[in-house]
Amino acid sequence: GMQLLRRNDYPEGRFTLAFLGYGGEAENTVLELTHNWDTEHYDLGNGYGHIAIGVDDVYAACERIRASGGKVVREPGPMKHGSTVLAFVEDPDGYKVELLSED
């Protein structure tokens, strides 16, 4: 079955990310699970949060998306409690897609 590939705790943000998969992250699909430490109610909405796609250069990917008429809803930059560079874009139906790269 799937293995825990890595786990990142973010005490300042009060959350943990767990990455599960069948092999290395660069070669395989990876499932990211988020655990929010606090017990506040979490609105699940329609059950969809977002998907994430690893890219070589988040900044360049956002420029290509914008130049093609796409919508960038979170400009590229480092994540709040880490060094991973990420951005969020929306597909034509309004679903969020995260773009990320390790810095």
At residue 88, the 3 state secondary structure works out as strand
Instruction: Choose the catalytic residue: 27, 90, 98, 102.
Output: 98
Strand pairing report for 96-101 and 51-54: parallel
Q: From CA 16, how far away is CA 26, in angstroms rounded?
A: 21
Q: Which long-range contacts (CB under 8 A, 24 or more apart) does 23-31 make?
A: 25/54, 26/54, 30/5, 31/2
75 is catalytic: no
Question: Which residues are annotated as catalytic?
Answer: 98
